[in-house]
Amino acid sequence: MKKFNFRKVLDGLTAASPVGSSGGGSGSGAGGSVHPGGTAGAAGTPREEIQETLTSDYFQICKTVRHGFPYLPTALAFDPVQKILAIGTRTGAIRILGRPGVDCYCQHESGAAVLQLQFLINEGALVSACADDALHLWNLRQKRPAILHSLKFNRERITYCHLPFQSKWLYVGTERGNTHIVNIESFILSGYVIMWNKAIELSTKTHPGPVVHLSDSPRDEGKLLIGYENGTIVFWDLRSKRADLRAYYDEAIHSVAWHHEGKQFMCSHSDGSLTLWNLKSPNRPFQTTIPHGKVQRDGKKPESCKPILKVEYKTCKNSEPFVIFSGGLSYDKPCRRPSLTIMHGKAITVLEMDHPIVDFLTLCETPYPNEFQEPYAVVVLLEKDLIVVDLTQSNFPIFENPYPIDIHESPVTCTEYFADCPPDLIPVLYSVGAKHKKQGYSNKEWPISGGAWNLGAQTYPEIIITGHADGSVKFWDASAITLQMLYKLKTSKVFEKQKVGEGKATAEIVEEDPFAVQMMYWCPESRIFCVAGVSAYVIVYRFSKHEINTEIASLEVRLQCEVEDIITPEPETNPPFPDASSQLPSLKSLSGSTNTVACEGTMKDSIPCLSVKARPVRMPPGYQADLVIQLVWVDGEPPQQITSLAVNSAYGLVAFGNCNGLAVVDFMQKTVLLSMGTLDLYGSSDPYQRQPRSPRKSRQFAADNFCMRGLSNFYPDLTKRIRTSYQSLTELSDSPVSLELERCKSPTSENRENSFSRSRSSSVSSIDRDSKEAITALYFMESFARKNDSAVSSCLWVGTGLGMVIILSLNLPASDDLRQSEPVVVSPSGTVLTLKGAVLTFACLDCMGTLTHQPYEVWRDPHSADDGDKTRKRKLVMHSPSSSQDMGDHQFAVICSEKQAKVFSLPSQTCLYVHNITETSFLLRADVVTLCNSVCLACFCANGHIMTLSLPSLRPLLDINYLPVTDMRIARTFCFTNEGQALYLSSPTEIQRLTYSQEMCDNLQDMLGDLFTPVETPEAQNRGFLKGLFGGSGQAFDREELFGEATAGKASRSLAQHIPGSGGIEGVRGAAGGVIGDLTRARIALDERGQKLGELDERTASMMASAEAFSKHAHEVMLKYKDKKWYQF
């Protein structure tokens, strides 16, 4: 065998990133230097250095799109011409929705709750009023809306806003009861103010309360209806600056709605009543009804109900008007759900909702308030849902919602993201998911249809998978920055339903959400899907297009850390890996037979947490359970939750681990191959030379609490079951006492302390180190299992919470024919590598630096009709298509822990590169991803930094402080994928997608939807001669003349402060591509020029007026003194 030195081969790889200390790996040295002396198994010649193509220019962080239901919604608005909808939230966010694909998210910098939203109808602008008493004008004529102007009120609190159609003057009501007027174009307050004390009668001694309603009369724009909270209504004449009429009601007003003719209006009140008022007789309402109140027998007023929070009064040309309101239900039915009531003629329909109603809007055919409204739909904004009701059909069906707003139907517990997956997957998943669609929706088109959306340049398929608290798993099509649900899988269906009250008596370890999905593993090529649940079980699913009826195969596994029960050290009594002949029978007896529960001695021993269905089960097309593996109770101790999961279709194996040890199961033969404590996996290779010992129980609990400050907080019920993979959310250091305990432990304590301090910077209790070493990462790979192996073989890489990497050899049957009958043997290779911190991820690069794909079996339908004989050969792909069939004589193993990344050369096991990623924090997620036909390591750190490192040299390419981890939800759901994409759950109801690719940042403008599209405003109906003559004020109302500075004067400067926004500049930048950019720039330039010309014009006019006044004054003086003698002066 020919040997050669790697020094020359790897000279080009020495430019490693700076490093503080080595991770103590076999053959590793200080910072990134190359360690020669590794030998290759096969003959070869020195290769050229690996050219890394990625540089920092390829990377840039930016948010792309936010999916899901707006979290904590507060306000709703609709543009009836553009047909776009806006939703404001308690966190200061605004979501603008149009046709499917048009979905825009914007955020107020202050984070103040949005109180109200008002569209400038068909103008491409939106006004938001926030809880910090600021008004903002948003420009929607760009793909990413920006604020053009802001106006901050200093002395008064905003309670209500109203912007009449085609007006540039916004009415603003305040808590003090005053009404101010704002010019929308300049965002400056008019000097015209309607003071509360002028609006009410002089004889009234009490304050009317805040303004709760403002609207102009549909009949006369010069009349303003003001509703005060205490029940006072004032009809104000804007021209004469006095109240035309006043009305009083003894119940508080919540909302007011006009009849389109402007002669009547309706109010909703706090006692559940609706009052109808006529302008000709304002002394009392001419109709009062309590729609849900019980009629009293003795003819008294019906009993009061809950407040009617909002009412809308909409007229139709060919039928009775619609009266639609929220609330108003009877108090004697406390359990009734929130409801929307639709009164149409004499028919009353009550629509019960699943969540409280935040707001609703009636969508009408016309934007003009003085025409028949012809309502066709009602948009109802609920606390956790958005529904649209079709008013054109008598049974009021709802529209099928095209937006992905049901992500949170059950709380999301984990996410996975796959970019550039096989193109046939999306149609296949959609075809099996479409069969479960609900019936009974309206057959009309979705009415919120505004905006424009195109596919953009990005064409590769993307799939997002979300796991949920109720055990459901949803597959979403995420291509081209949209989101659409493809398929829903309910994992809880493999288990028997728990009877009420039975949970405490059985073996459940989780009282709430026992089916919650904790981890998912998906192989898109083989379509094998694997789920780990919170109740310590793993389900392996296979995909089939055919429905089947079958029993669910299940296995039970004992996986308990026995080290605590041994008092006398007997390290070599039982070899950890028995030979193949004794292995299978002994492990079968360990695992227990299928569907059998053995209760020996104690009540809870060998009992799984949940019961798998024993009867044959109908499985529809899609993912069908192939095998359920459950961890069982051991001697009264519950099974620990699963911390790592991997499956490989080519090998037919699934591996999973927890803080006690590792289990490997053959899902083809349905047998347990390995069920072993973490310590036993090392065999004689344990670098810590641990002594098995009895535990100190009191100290153990302290250790548990200590660890609970780590990332095990992701799972709120993990008080006892500790995930030691992440023990350092807040960096912890041991007290001197525990370090003393450490030193007194064993004769080899000094060596152990040194090795441990290298492997973890944040320490945990000494006993916890001994007994709780969680399996945190698993990876099946064709690799060199031992030093100086001559060929690759099937391996399982195992990473632990102490930074140890153990390689296990997998001895698979030589031919496919024997795979179902011959046993698979799992044995130790003796290879142990070390890193600092818990191991997070593995990857393998071939000798050219290309990412090596894990072996997989090409998908075939397990229940295909043409598959008569089951002996059909499996088609296996053992190497990635991008690399050559010959794997070459060496590989690069990439291993990343929560503290550092290392690249090893195999089979020499030389540590080529080390990069200490963080000293003061730790990584939450690390993934090896492809970008621009190259490969890099992407990391997300608990301090909020997103970093990328080149491979194999681990050069830092990107390090941006993106997002401080304020919530465990972010840490639990953050994931990277190929092509520079990533996502996380930004709120309980929303997924935030982002990119770290410069190319995608550059192309983002083309991919985003347009919110504003040029649409002609519909013409107003011809009112006819007689109606114009007798039907109201024919006098044109000039608001400019009334509210402008010339007439009304200037408002007090201390009342409100004008803040210019950055929307104009951002608008140019945002639309910087092509004609739109030119038009936008030209438009803004024209606006600026027009503004300057306007200012010049005003200045000229002012100078002319001044000159004229001077001339007039001079002439008068001349006339006065013209005929006087000199001595008369």
Do 828 and 577 touch, CB atoms closer than 8 A?
yes
pLDDT in the model for residue 1102: 73
Angle between helices 749-759 and 736-743 (to 10 degrees): 130
Q: Hey, is 394 helix, strand or coil?
A: coil
Residue given tokens 């114009």 in the structure block:
1028
Residue 938's closest CA among 953, 948, 925, 950? Answer: 948
Over 80: is that where the pLDDT of 975 sits? yes
pLDDT in the model for residue 351: 94
d(CA 800, CA 374): 66
- The one-letter code for the residue type at 343 is M
pLDDT in the model for residue 998: 93
Do 782 and 826 touch, CB atoms closer than 8 A?
no
d(CA 162, CA 184): 12
Give 738's contacts (C-beta < 8 A, 6+ positions apart).
Answer: 763, 765, 766
- In 169-286, DSSP assigns E strands to 169-174, 179-183, 188-194, 211-216, 223-228, 232-237, 242-248, 253-258, 264-269, 274-278
pLDDT > 70: percent of the chain: 74
Residue given tokens 């290392």 in the structure block:
902
Give 1127's contacts (C-beta < 8 A, 6+ positions apart).
Answer: none
d(CA 587, CA 671): 9
Query: Average pLDDT, whole number, for the chain?
Result: 79
Given strand 308-314, what is the order of strands in its sheet? 308-314, 322-327, 339-344, 347-352
Given strand 357-364, what is the order of strands in its sheet? 357-364, 375-382, 386-390
pLDDT in the model for residue 1109: 77
d(CA 297, CA 386): 40
pLDDT in tens, 665-714: 999 999 999 998 888 888 766 666 554 433 333 333 333 332 333 333 33
pLDDT in the model for residue 862: 85
Confidence of residue 459 (pLDDT cuts 50, 70, 90): confident
> On the CB side of 762, how many CA atoms lie within 13 Å of its CA?
23
pLDDT in tens, 743-780: 233 332 333 333 333 333 333 333 344 457 899 999 99
- The one-letter code for the residue type at 1066 is E
Residue 964 C-alpha from the chain's centroid: 16
Over 90: is that where the pLDDT of 1050 sits? no
- 36, with CB counted inside 10 A (0-12, 13-18, 19+), is middle
Length of the chain: 1129
Q: Which of 261-275, 608-622, 745-759, 925-939 has the lowest mean pLDDT?
A: 745-759
Over 60: is that where the pLDDT of 22 sits? no
Confidence of residue 1121 (pLDDT cuts 50, 70, 90): low
Question: What is the sign, positive or negative, of the torsion defined by CA atoms of 1103, 1104, 1107, 1109?
Answer: negative
pLDDT > 90: percent of the chain: 53
Question: What is the sign, positive or negative, of the torsion defined by CA atoms of 220, 170, 178, 251?
Answer: positive
Over 90: is that where the pLDDT of 562 sits? no
d(CA 16, CA 28): 13
pLDDT in the model for residue 464: 96
Q: pTM score, two decimals?
A: 0.80
pLDDT in the model for residue 749: 31
pLDDT in tens, 274-310: 999 999 888 889 899 999 988 777 667 778 899 999 9
d(CA 1003, CA 1006): 6
pLDDT in the model for residue 1107: 74
Mark 77-104 as b/e (b = at least 16 C-beta within 10 Å): bbbbbbbbbbbbbbbbbbbbbbbbbbbb
Written as six digits, the tokens of 231 are 């029940």
pLDDT in the model for residue 425: 92
From residue 875, alpha-carbon distances to 219, 423, 855 in Å are 77, 19, 11
Averaged pLDDT for residues 543-566: 80
pLDDT in the model for residue 281: 85
Over 50: is that where the pLDDT of 394 sits? yes
d(CA 361, CA 339): 14
d(CA 623, CA 433): 10
Confidence of residue 592 (pLDDT cuts 50, 70, 90): very low
- The one-letter code for the residue type at 473 is V
Confidence of residue 1128 (pLDDT cuts 50, 70, 90): low
Confidence of residue 133 (pLDDT cuts 50, 70, 90): very high
More confident residue, 962 or 760: 962
d(CA 673, CA 663): 8
pLDDT in the model for residue 815: 80
pLDDT in the model for residue 313: 95
pLDDT in the model for residue 2: 40
pLDDT in the model for residue 1083: 55
Mark 201-216 as b/e (b = at least 16 C-beta within 10 Å): eeeeeeebbbbbbbbb
pLDDT in the model for residue 808: 94
Over 80: is that where the pLDDT of 1124 sits? no
Written as six digits, the tokens of 1077 are 């950019």
Q: Which of 155-169, 578-592, 738-752 has the lowest mean pLDDT?
A: 738-752
570 Rama class: left (phi>0) / alpha (psi -120 to 50) / beta: beta
Give 323's contacts (C-beta < 8 A, 6+ positions apart).
Answer: 266, 274, 311, 312, 313, 342, 343, 344
- 930, with CB counted inside 10 A (0-12, 13-18, 19+), is middle
Give 762's contacts (C-beta < 8 A, 6+ positions apart).
Answer: 727, 728, 731, 732, 733, 922
Averaged pLDDT for residues 231-247: 91
Do 787 and 908 touch, CB atoms closer than 8 A?
yes
More confident residue, 337 or 205: 337
Confidence of residue 1106 (pLDDT cuts 50, 70, 90): confident
Over 50: is that where the pLDDT of 896 sits? yes
Written as six digits, the tokens of 1126 are 């000199």
Dihedrals phi, psi of 1095, to nearest 5 degrees:
-65, -40
Specify the DSSP element, H or E, that contains 1082. Answer: helix 1074-1121
Over 50: is that where the pLDDT of 947 sits? yes
Averaged pLDDT for residues 634-643: 89
Q: Are strands 622-631 and 554-557 parallel, antiparallel or unpaired?
A: parallel
**Can you give the three-state secondary structure of 342-380, one letter per residue?**
EEECCEEEEEECCCCEEEEEEEECCCCCCCCCCEEEEEE
Residue given tokens 């060496």 in the structure block:
890
pLDDT in the model for residue 473: 97
Vertex 382 angle, CA 378 and 386, to 5°: 60
Over 60: is that where the pLDDT of 380 sits? yes
pLDDT in tens, 460-479: 899 999 999 999 999 999 98
pLDDT in the model for residue 835: 94
pLDDT in tens, 67-90: 999 999 999 999 999 999 999 999
> On the CB side of 812, how many CA atoms lie within 13 Å of its CA?
21
pLDDT in the model for residue 457: 63
Over 80: is that where the pLDDT of 840 sits? yes
pLDDT in tens, 314-325: 999 989 999 999
Over 60: is that where the pLDDT of 406 sits? yes
